Amino acid sequence: MYDWMRRLSTGPRRPIASLGRVSLTVATVNVNGIRAAVKQRSEHNLGFLPWLEGSGADIVALQEVRADEEQTRKALAPALDDGWHLIGSSSSLKGRAGVALLSRREPADVCIGHGDPEFDESGRYIEAVYPGAVDGETVTVASLYLPSGSFGTPKQDEKDRFLASFREFLAERARTVGGRDGHEMIVCGDWNIAHREEDLKNHKNNHKSSGFLPHEREWMTGVFADGSGWTDVVRHRRPDEVGPYSWWSQRGKAFDNDAGWRIDYHVVTDGLVDRAVADRVDRASAYDMRWSDHAPVVVTYE
């Protein structure tokens, strides 16, 4: 773990003012490399930074940042100069993974990792506490980049180990955070699993593909089971809708044919389920207008 991450995770809590907002708009996006996302189509005023400026978001969860602190801050310098606050967790493997949170106000507390030593330095989980984020209530927002896996390989074994320990972590967070003393939680991010057939276009051909394996989908069902304390809030709002997709393969014409996957989620504790009043996917208008292979998923809570 980089020293700047360690300081964030172990430093003393600092009281901050409430966000003072009745509503909170949170976005999540896998940027597929923050430096590339910032540079993409910049000559046409496209890319991550113009999107951020027009997003209306208060907090943005980033995944697959693939940069250290200095590189990330350099790429996001215009946003940071404009008042955005950045916290992040890089991977110990250069150019891999990495998660971050951008917010309009500085968080009160930060935690890196989900308590599994195997993944402490993998750049796959960060959470921050935002007092007064929704109508005076405190909200913890997390950015998750769950391993992608690959069926029948050690990468899938790694993913399955992550799933096992992360399930325990979610259960603990539901007990200790969700609904306690006006405190709710949102786990945003690239979960790398399409839970239902409605969550990917070509589901019939992907039952042996990582991201749609039976045991992965069963794991998701368990996460969202009655009484678990967690809900896929976009699916809750769109129970019978196909999609909306948030990732499209770079191969072939997947984007043009909208042959996508819904793998980017807002997973919320019970008290936020009915407070989600709007959601959208900021899908690019054309293939050559994209700055990532994912599209931002944006939800507003009141």
> pLDDT value at position 255?
96
In this predicted structure, what is the pLDDT of residue 115?
96
**pLDDT of 288 above 60:** yes
pLDDT at 16 over 70: no
Does the bond joining 244 to the residue before it have cis omega, within 30 degrees of 0?
A: yes
Distance of alpha carbon 65 from alpha carbon 61, whole angstroms? 10
Measured CA to CA in angstroms, residue 107 lies from 23, 113, 132, 157, 185 at distances of: 17, 17, 11, 34, 14
Q: Residue 7: pLDDT band by 50, 70, 90 thresholds?
A: very low
Of 146, 250, 158, 242, give the one whose Cα is nearest residue 192: 146
Is the pLDDT reported for residue 46 higher than 90? no
Binned at pLDDT 50, 70 and 90, residue 198 comes out as very high
State the Cα–Cα distance between residues 29 and 257, nearest whole angstrom. 21
3 state SS of 276: strand
- Contact status, residue 92 vs residue 68, Cβ threshold 8 Å: no
Name, in order, each residue with C-beta under 8 angstroms of 239's C-beta and a sequence gap of 6 or more. Answer: none
**Looking up tokens 């935002």, which residue turns up?**
130
Q: Residue 205: is it exposed, middle or buried by C-beta count within 10 angstroms (0-12/13-18/19+)?
A: exposed
Question: What pLDDT band is residue 82 in, cutting at 50, 70 and 90?
Answer: very high
Whether 13 shows a pLDDT value over 60: the answer reads no
Q: Look at residue 284 and tell me whether its pLDDT is greater than 90.
A: yes
pLDDT of residue 44 exceeding 80, the answer is no
Mean pLDDT score, 159-168:
98
42 pLDDT more than 80 = no
What's the chain's average pLDDT? 91
Give pLDDT, residue 268. 98
What is the arrangement of strands in the sheet containing 85-89, beginning at the earlier edge strand? 85-89, 99-103, 59-63, 24-30, 297-301, 276-281
Nearest to 5 by CA among 92, 71, 89, 125: 89
Plot region of 193 (φ>0 → left; ψ -120 to 50 → alpha; else → beta): beta
Q: Is 294 helix (H, G, I), strand (E, B) or coil?
A: strand
CB 134 within 8 A of CB 272: yes
pLDDT at 21: 53
Q: pLDDT grade, residue 236 (50/70/90)? A: very high
Give the β-pairing of 297-301 and 24-30. Answer: antiparallel
Note the pLDDT of residue 41.
Answer: 63
- pLDDT score recorded for residue 43: 61
User: Tens of pLDDT along 106-138?
Assistant: 999 999 999 999 999 999 999 999 999 988 899
Which residues, at least 6 apart from 56, have a Cβ–Cβ distance to it below 8 Å?
Answer: 25, 298
* Number of alpha helices (DSSP H) and beta strands (DSSP E) in the chain: 8, 14
Q: What is the pTM of this model?
A: 0.91
DSSP 167-190: HHHHHHHHHHTTTBTTEEEEEEEE
Of 35-49, 172-186, 204-218, 285-299, the least confident: 35-49
pLDDT of residue 104 exceeding 60: yes
Give every CB contact of residue 5 below 8 A, 6+ residues apart in sequence: 69, 88, 89, 90, 112
Go through the domains of the chain in sequence order and give each one's CATH number. 24-301 (3.60.10.10)
